[in-house]
Structure 1
Amino acid sequence: MRIRAAVLEDFGQPLAVREVELAEPKAGEVLVRLVACGVCHTDLYTASGADPSGYAPTVLGHEGAGVVEHVGDGVTSVAPGDHVVTLFSPQCRECVHCLSPRTNLCLAIREQQNKGFLPDGTTRLMLDGEPMRHFMGTSTFAEYTVMPEIALAKVSRDAPLETACLFACGLSTGLGAATNTARVEAGSTAVVFGAGMVGLGAVIGCRLQGAERIVCVDLSAERLELARHHGATETIVGGLDAVQAVLDLTGGFGADYTFEATGSVAVMRQAVESARMGWGLCTVAGVAGKGEVLEVVPRYLITGRRIAGSSFGGVKGRDQVPEFVELYLAGEIDADPFVVNQGFELMEAQNGIRSVLSFG
Structure 2
Amino acid sequence: MGERAAVVWPGADAWSVEPVELAPPRAGEVLVRIEAAGLCHSDAHLLTGGYAGLRRPMVGGHEGAGVVEAVGPGVTLVGEGDHVVFAFMPSCGTCPDCTAGRQHLCVLGAGVAQGFAVSDGTPRRRARDTDLGSFCFVGSFATRTVVHERSVVRCDPALPLDEVCLLGCAGITGWGAAVNTAGVGVGDTTVVVGVGGIGAMALLGARYAGAGQVWAVDPVGSKRDAATDLGADGAAASTAGLAAVLRDETRGRMADQVILCAGTGDGAAMAEAMALLGKQGRAVVVNVHDDAEREVRMSLRDLQSYEKQVRGCLAGSWSPRHGLSTLLDLYGRGRIPLEKLVTARYPLEKIHDGVADQEAGRNVRGVLLPAA
TM range (shorter): over 0.9
Aligned to 2:116: 117
Conservation of the 8 A alpha-carbon contact between 1:195 and 1:227? yes
**2 CA distance for matches of 1:194 and 1:18?**
33
Deviation at 1:300, TM superposition (A): 2.4
1:180–1:315 contact (8 Å) kept in structure 2: yes
Would you say the 8 A contact 2:269–2:297 is kept in 1? Answer: no
Match of 1:206, SS?
helix
**Structure-1 residue corresponding to 2:276:** 274
What is the CA–CA distance in structure 1 between the aligned matches of 2:207 and 2:239, rounded to whole Å? 25
Task: Give the structure 1 partner of residue 48 of structure 2.
Answer: 48
Pick one of 317, 320, 329 that aligns with 2:320. Answer: 317
Correspondence for 1:84: 84
The CA distance in 1 between the partners of 2:297 and 2:28, in whole Å, is: 43
Unaligned runs of 5+ in 1: none
Displacement after TM superposition at 1:49 (Å): 2.3
Are the equivalent residues in 1 in contact too, given 2:37–2:165 (CA < 8 A)? yes
1:11 touches 1:47 (CA, 8 Å); kept in 2? no
1:337 to 1:250, Cα distance in 2 relative to 1, 3 A? same
Cα displacement (A) at 1:44:
1.4
- Post-superposition Cα deviations, 1:98-144, rounded to whole Å, max 9, x if no partner, equal 2223562111x222222221121210111133322222211111111
- CA distance in structure 2 between the aligned counterparts of 1:174 and 1:31, rounded to whole angstroms: 28
1:294 paired to 2:315? no
Over aligned residue pairs, what C-alpha RMSD do you find? 1.8
Task: Say whether the 8 Å CA contact 1:156–1:326 is kept in structure 2.
Answer: no
Change (3 A) 1:9 1:79: same
How many angstroms apart in 1 are the aligned matches of 2:318 and 2:335?
18
Describe the SS at the equivalent of 1:301: helix
8 Å Cα contact 1:260-1:268 kept in structure 2? no
Partner of 2:66: helix, strand, or coil? strand
Q: Secondary structure at the match of 1:252?
A: coil
Moved more, 20-29 or 1-10: 1-10
SS at match of 1:27: coil
Q: Which amino acid aligns with 1:204?
A: L
Take 1:268 and 1:80, find their aligned partners in 2: how far apart are those partners?
48
The equivalent residue for 2:340 is 337
SS of residue paired to 1:294: coil
* 1:209-358 superposed matches below 5 A: 209-238=209-238, 240-262=240-262, 263-277=265-279, 279-292=280-293, 293-302=295-304, 303-339=306-342, 340-342=344-346, 343-358=354-369
State the AA in 2 paired with 1:82.
D
Q: How far off is 1:244 after superposition?
A: 4.2
Q: How does 1:159-178 map to 2 (within 5 A)?
A: 159-178=159-178
Contact 1:154 1:318 (C-alpha < 8 Å) held by counterparts? no
Q: Give the distance between the partners of 1:304 and 1:117, measured in 2 at CA.
A: 43
- Alignment partners' CA distance in 1, 2:321 and 2:103: 14
Could you give the per-residue CA deviations for residues 183-213 of structure 1, whole angstroms, max 9, x where no partner exists?
Answer: 2111111111111111111110011011111
State how far apart, in whole Å, the 2-side matches of 1:33 and 1:80 are. 11
Q: Please report the TM-score for the alignment, with normalisation by the length of structure 1.
A: 0.94
Residue 72 (structure 2) aligns with? 72
* 2:126 aligned counterpart, secondary structure: strand
Where does 1:106-185 land on structure 2 (aligned, <5 Å)?
106-107=106-107, 109-119=108-118, 120-185=120-185
- Report deviation, 1:41: 1.1
What SS class does the counterpart of residue 133 from structure 1 fall into?
Answer: strand
Q: What are the Cα deviations for residues 242-267 of structure 1, in whole angstroms up to 9, with x where unaligned?
A: 44443343223321122111123234
Whole-angstrom distance in 2 between the partners of 1:133 and 1:333? 33
Distance of 2:242 and 2:249 partners within structure 1: 11
Residue identity matched to 1:300? D
- Alpha-carbon contact 1:123-1:132 (below 8 Å) kept: yes
Q: Which moved more, 1:84-93 or 1:59-68?
A: 84-93
1:226 partner SS: helix
**8 Å CA contact 2:10, 2:57 repeated in 1:** yes
What is the letter of the counterpart of residue 139 of structure 1? G
Contact 1:11 1:48 (C-alpha < 8 Å) held by counterparts: no
User: Contact 1:315/1:321 (CA < 8 Å) preserved in 2?
Assistant: no
- For structure 2, list consecutive stretches of 5 or more residues without a partner in the other structure: 347-353
CA contact (8 A) 1:156 1:322 kept: no
Q: 1:274 to 1:103 in 2, by over 3 A?
A: farther
Deviation of the 1:8 alpha carbon = 1.9
Cα distance between partner residues in 2 of 1:253 and 1:323: 33
Superposition TM-score, scaled by structure 2 size: 0.91
Matched to 1:135, the amino acid is F
* Closer/same/farther in 2, CA of residues 333 and 174 from structure 1, 3 Å limit: same
Contact (CA 8 Å) 1:36, 1:165: kept in 2 or not? Answer: yes
Structure whose residues are more often helix by fraction:
2
Following superposition, the deviation at residue 27 of structure 1 comes to 1.2
SS at match of 1:225: helix
